[in-house]
């Protein structure tokens, strides 16, 4: 379990083991907004010598006031995309060797949002705002990062097919869920704490599509798709733009090396 709050992660581990005594769970610290933290986590994970069959990139932040990460990147993009991009790249060799040794398909699931189709720039990703987010609307920044999640999945899928690697990569919209993602937004948070309890899904319901894409035999061999409600769905035209996906991939690599 990669967690930002280790104490909370250990509490969750205890609750799981109480229900499933044979479960083996390792809790490692990971802050996806920090490249140094991602690299440290990947190193610690590799030291455990564990196989890696499934990677679910699930972190998501929605903040305000044009916040930047410790690496000087727009925080939504840094956490929701770059952190996952770096983590995936660092763990890929493990996944490749695991699928070769086990003969079992590896699966990467990027958790996105239907927001990717609602509030983005005409060009999809506003690359010049990543290092200078001044004037960037926070909701658009969030939706832009969710668009990046789908483009990341699509380009991963293309590369895997080109290389003949037995790993799938898909994106998932879990639905509108009752989480604390709006904790930094008082009015919106208050709305979701009241009306949201009626119209939103519970966390368990929201996890259904993610678990389906990560585990179900019916999804075997399916890659480069966008899922919602446990079915293949249609993302926005921007999310289906292969050239934009390649451009984002190169921009992300350059960001990691700068």
Q: Which residues are catalytic?
A: 142
Say if residues 69 and 33 touch (Cβ distance below 8 Å): yes
Q: Other CB atoms closer than 10 Å to residue 184's CB: what's the count?
A: 15
Q: Which helix (H) or strand (E) holds 143?
A: helix 138-163
Strand ranges, E, within the chain: 2-3, 28-29, 54-57, 106-111, 167-173, 226-228, 231-233
Exposure of 80 in the CB half-sphere (CA atoms within 13 A): 27
Say if residues 66 and 134 touch (Cβ distance below 8 Å): yes
The Cα 251–Cα 227 span in angstroms is 25
Using DSSP bridges, classify how beta strands 28-29 and 231-233 pair: parallel, antiparallel or unpaired.
unpaired
- Radius of gyration for the chain, computed over Cα atoms and rounded to the nearest angstrom: 18
């Amino acid at each position: 379990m990669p967690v930002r709050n280790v104490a909370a992660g250990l509490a969750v581990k205890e609750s799981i083991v109480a229900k499933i005594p044979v479960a083996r769970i390792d809790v490692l610290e990971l802050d996806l907004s920090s490249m140094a933290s991602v690299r440290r986590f990947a190193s610690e994970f590799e030291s455990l010598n564990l196989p890696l069959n499934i990677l679910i990139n699930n972190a998501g932040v929605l903040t305000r006031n044009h916040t930047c990460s410790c690496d000087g990147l727009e925080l939504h993009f840094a956490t929701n995309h770059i952190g996952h991009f770096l983590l995936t790249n660092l763990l890929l060799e493990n996944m490749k060797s695991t699928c070769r040794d086990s003969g079992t398909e590896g699966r990467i699931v990027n958790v996105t949002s239907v927001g990717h189709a609602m509030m983005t720039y005409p060009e999809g990703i506003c690359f010049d705002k990543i290092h200078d987010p001044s004037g960037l609307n926070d909701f658009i920044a969030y939706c832009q990062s969710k668009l990046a999640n789908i483009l990341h999945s699509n380009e991963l899928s293309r590369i895997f097919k080109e290389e003949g690697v037995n790993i799938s990569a898909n994106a998932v919209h879990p639905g509108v869920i009752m989480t604390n993602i709006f904790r930094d937004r008082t009015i919106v948070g208050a709305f979701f704490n009241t009306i949201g309890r009626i119209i939103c899904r519970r966390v368990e319901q929201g996890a259904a599509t993610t678990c389906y894409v990560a585990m179900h035999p019916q999804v075997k061999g399916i890659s480069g798709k966008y899922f919602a409600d446990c079915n293949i769905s249609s993302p926005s035209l921007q999310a289906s733009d292969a050239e934009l996906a390649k451009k984002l991939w190169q921009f992300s690599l350059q960001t990691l090396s700068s």
